Each structure stands twice: as structure tokens, then as C-alpha cells.
Amino acid sequence: QVQTATGTGDGVFVGSVPLTTAQSGSTFSLKDASRGGQSTSDLKGKTSGSGTLFTDTDNAWGDGTAANRQSAAVDAQFGAAVTWDFYKNTFGRSGIKNNGVGATSRVHYGRNYVNAFWDDSCFCMTYGDGDGNTHPLTELDVAGHEMTHGVTSATAGLNYSGESGGLNEATSDIFGTMVEWYANLASDKPDYLIGEEIDINGDGTPLRYMDKPSKDGGSADSWSSGVGNLDVHYSSGVGNHFFYLLAEGSGAKTINGVSYNSPTSNGSTVTGIGRDKAAAIWYRALTVYFTSTTNYKAARTATLNAAKDLYGSGSTEYNAVAAAWSGVNVN
Ligand code: ASN
Ligand code: ZN
Ligand code: CA
């Protein structure tokens, strides 16, 4: 019969972490019965199919290098576990669909694939190995980002184009970042950067910046009439910048050794309410008020309604939501 066991993992990015695994005789598998049966499989370079469930004989997984094919699986399985715990312990959400069912993860997708993605049809997330195979896409904020696409799909269903697509992407960056803060790993100190560990640009810069999204060379810092024509990973900048302003406030500050400088589009000063309250407001807006066609103007109304529900109309939090949206030109 199958029993639950506690193993150890050494991931490419997460370092040494505990893993809840399954044991059948002398064989362990990367499957977590305590979190809806979430598991991780090896695609071995293929681009379809469910892959081969990772198994092991000593319940010690990976060696911290991408050369060992279990290491990326440790990151993926741990990322799915932390994301599960974040949603469960922060919002009482039991899995992506809130039905107690875990998602599966697939690693080693294709060859030199520099991306990761969520797919509703397999209820699974998939990671490439990156170009050169030393930087798989299995960073924690990416895991949280991809699984959050599943949450968005199961709740608001934000259309993946135009301004609603930007809000969809921002939602994934916001909660991917919150997953990183929830885990608070010494090996990956939490920040307001996306994909900072992967070195996707080869020069040490992250994929995206929440304090000043335009630092990536393409994202919007604030709303303008054409913002919905941008790629959704760029129109997300308006939502990401709103969230940073709401959580941390405008101006310069250093957190965990990273320097941020977040200007508002109208020159106003915004005082942050902290990331936990900001996340609670965004989650309530996502799950109660956003619809498939919500645009930035409607997101302002939705988050104000969420803040009213949680903290009261005219509360400090409510007023901060209004000020943060005005700071990204959503009036
Ligand atoms: N990693 C990308 C994302 O989650 C994949 C995509 O463009 N759909 O947004
Ligand atoms: Zn995304
Ligand atoms: Ca990050």
C-alpha cells in the first residue's frame, strides 16, 4: 500500500527543502497526498503527454544542480506545495479550483525552452530547461505565477487580451510575488521582481519590475488609452505598479537589499498599507468582483468595493486603494 513519507530535496533555486512524498515498498514518488495529490513528472524533452512520475529509492531528491534531472523537479514540487499552502493558509482556498484537488507539474519540456506555462486542459504546469539547460524556469515566483493563472481561470476568468489580459498577467505576478514572500527563503529572498533568479536576459536583470515596470524596456508604468494594445505581459505593468504602490507606497526604499523607486504618474505621494492587506484586497476583487471583461477602470471600482468590504468605506485602506490607482492614472 501507499504511505505518506517525508523526503528531502535539493533544488536548483530553492536549495534544501523538505518534501512530502509517497512510499510504496522501497520506492518513493514525488506525489504529495497532503496537498491534493500534487505530483511532478519528467517530460524528458517531449512537448506532450503526462511524462513519467519521478521516483527514487532513498527519498533524497536532486543535488542542487540542473545537471541532476531531479533538481528542477524539486523546485517544481516545492513551488506547487508553497503555492498550495499560501492560498490555503492566507485565503482558505483549497487548491486552484478550491475543491481540494492538486495540480500536476511537468519539467524538462522540449529542448532549450525558455518559458513556463499553465494549461487548464491538463490542470498542469510545465517548465522548460532554459537555453543551455543551466537555468530551468522553475523559480518559485514563476511557479506561483503559473498556478495563479489556474486560479484566475477558475474565478474571474479574465480574458487573456486587452486590458483584462493585463489584469490577468498582473494577478499572476502579484500572487507569484506573494508566494515568494510567504516562503521567505534564504536562498531566494522575497522581492518585487519577477524571475530574478533565472537570469533570463543573461545580465542578471529580472524579467519584470513591480515598482517601476518600464525598467524592463516594454511595460507600462501607468494607464493610457492604448495600453490594451500592448502584449499582456506589458499592459500588466499598470496593475503591478498599482499593487506595489498600495503595498509599499511611492518613493525610494530598500527591502532585503534590493533598491526600489516607485514614482506616481501624477506626482502624488502614496502611503502603502502593507502587502498582506494589498493582497487581501486584490484576492477579494479577483474572486468576487472581477469578470472576464474587467478593464483597469472597472478594476479600480472592484478593488474599492473589496476594500470597503474588508476595511470599511473611507478607511485608510480604502483611501490608499484610490490613491494608488490615481498614481497609475486610473481615475
Ligand atoms: N510564462 C508565460 C505566462 O505565464 C507563458 C505565456 O505567455 N502564456 O504568461
Ligand atoms: Zn503569465
Ligand atoms: Ca521575485
Q: Ligand 1: which atom is nearest the Cα of residue 146?
A: 4
Sign of CA dihedral 160, 172, 102, 107: positive
Cβ atoms 227, 165 nearer than 8 A: no
Q: What is the pLDDT of residue 133?
A: 72
Q: What is the pLDDT of residue 21?
A: 98
How far apart are alpha carbons 216 and 56 in whole angstroms?
Answer: 41
Ion ligand 2: residues, CB < 5 A: 172
User: What is the CA(233)–ligand 2 centre distance, in A?
Assistant: 7
User: What is the helix (H) or strand (E) element at residue 17, kind and residue range?
Assistant: strand 16-24
Strand 124-128 relative to strand 104-109, pairing: parallel
Separation in Å, CA 126 to CA 32, 135, 138: 18, 15, 9
Q: What fold characterizes domain 3-78+103-138?
A: Elastase; domain 1 (3.10.170)
Q: What is the pLDDT of residue 224?
A: 98
Cβ atoms 254, 274 nearer than 8 A: no
User: What is the CA(117)–ligand 1 centre distance, in A?
Assistant: 5
Q: What is the pLDDT of residue 278?
A: 99
Ligand 1 pocket (Cβ < 6 Å) reads 115-117, 145-146, 149, 169
64: helix, strand or coil: coil
Give me the residue spans of the domains in the chain.
3-78+103-138, 162-326
Grid cell 502587502 — which residue? 275
Q: Ligand 1: which atom is nearest the Cα of residue 137?
A: 1
What residue type is assigned to position 327 of the chain?
G
Work out the burial of residue 322: count CB atoms within 10 Å of its CB; fewer than 13 is exposed, 13-18 middle, 19 or more buried.
middle
Question: At a CB cut-off of 8 Å and minimum separation 6, what does 96 contact?
Answer: 87, 103, 123, 147, 150, 151, 154
Q: What is the pLDDT of residue 87?
A: 98
User: What is the CA(268)–ligand 2 centre distance, in A?
Assistant: 30
Grid cell 545537471 — which residue? 67
Q: Does domain 162-326 have CATH number 1.10.1520.10?
A: no
Structure-block grid coordinates of residue 238 = 499598470
Nearest Cα residue to atom 8 of ligand 1? 117
Ligand closest in space to the Cα of 115? 1
How far apart are alpha carbons 234 and 226 in whole angstroms?
Answer: 12
- Write out the catalytic residue numbers: 146, 233
Structure-block grid coordinates of residue 138 = 522553475
Ligand closest in space to the Cα of 194? 3
Q: What is the pLDDT of residue 327?
A: 98
Nearest Cα residue to atom 5 of ligand 1? 117
Separation in Å, CA 285 to CA 41, 178, 190, 259, 328: 34, 16, 24, 29, 18
Sign of CA dihedral 62, 14, 206, 328: positive
Q: Ligand 1: which atom is nearest the Cα of residue 115?
A: 1
User: What is the CA(1)–ligand 2 centre distance, in A?
Assistant: 39
How far apart are alpha carbons 22 and 231 in whole angstroms?
Answer: 41
Backbone angles phi, psi at 11, to 5 degrees: -85, 170
Structure-block grid coordinates of residue 129 = 530547461
pLDDT tens digits, the chain, 331 residues: what are they? Answer: 999 999 999 999 999 999 999 999 999 999 999 999 999 999 999 999 999 999 999 999 999 999 999 999 999 999 999 999 999 999 999 999 999 999 999 999 999 999 999 999 999 999 999 997 779 999 999 999 999 999 999 999 999 999 999 999 999 999 999 999 999 999 999 999 999 999 999 999 999 999 999 999 999 999 999 999 999 999 999 999 999 999 999 999 999 999 999 999 999 999 999 999 999 999 999 999 999 999 999 999 999 999 999 999 999 999 999 999 999 999 9
